[in-house]
Copies of this chain bind each other. A is one copy, B any other.
Amino acid sequence: MNNSKLPELIVSEWINTPQPIRLSELRGKVVVIEAFQMLCPGCVAHGLPLASRIAEAFPSDAVQVIGLHSVFEHHDVQGPRAALEAFVHEYRLSFPIAMDAPAGDGGIPKTMRAYQLQGTPSLLIVDGQGQLRLNHFGRPDDLPIGAKIMELIVEARASKTESPPSEITNAAEGGVCLADGSGCS
């Protein structure tokens, strides 16, 4: 009924979790979604290390980090589950990772399209009520990210009924992969 809630992830398979995760089951927690591709240099150098730092810095009962493998190029190489599993193993990623459901046409996968992501890496922060509060494409600074997450943690603690105004920021920098066909920079 509330259209401002972020739609559910559309996932083909999950890694690092015994069962699928639904955003609706995470109400009351802050959810951090790191959209990445395993061969995206900016994801490997910046996006995923930040996601790991977030998972380590905040208590797991307050913040849920989720990786979202949104393959929009090199589908044959990055697409298979075995490829992602090898990557996850070598890079020691321990948070749950969703494989974004491929589109029928071999282009932008379904969650990425539904969320209108610009490319990878993208960091999404969802509040305790399931609303998207930040969508950062590129490389964000740790300080404001830590601040934003804590703001939403406190908000979630204080109340699980109010609807704070949505506040989404965007940014684009180097070392990223664009979904508009221009590739990685």
Contact = CB atoms under 8 A, between A and B. Distances in A.
A40 B147 contact: no
Interface string A20-41: 0000000000000000000111
A57 B141 contact: yes
Interface string A74-108: 10111010110011011100000000000000000
A184 interface: yes
Interface in A119-154: 141-151, 153-154
Copies of this protein, total: 4
A92 to B, nearest CB: 8
B146 A142 contact: yes
A147 B150 contact: yes
A179 interface: no
Nearest to A39: B90
A138 B58 CA distance: 21
Interface residues of A, number: 38
A45 interface: yes
B91 A86 contact: no
A172 interface: no
A19 B138 CA distance: 38
Most buried by B among A39, A74, A78, A148: A39
Contact of A57 (B80, B90, B147): B147
Contact of A86 (B54, B74, B82): B74
Most buried by B among A45, A141, A155: A141
11 contacts: A53-B143, A54-B143, A77-B83, A141-B142, A142-B143, A142-B146, A143-B146, A146-B146, A147-B149, A147-B153, A158-B158
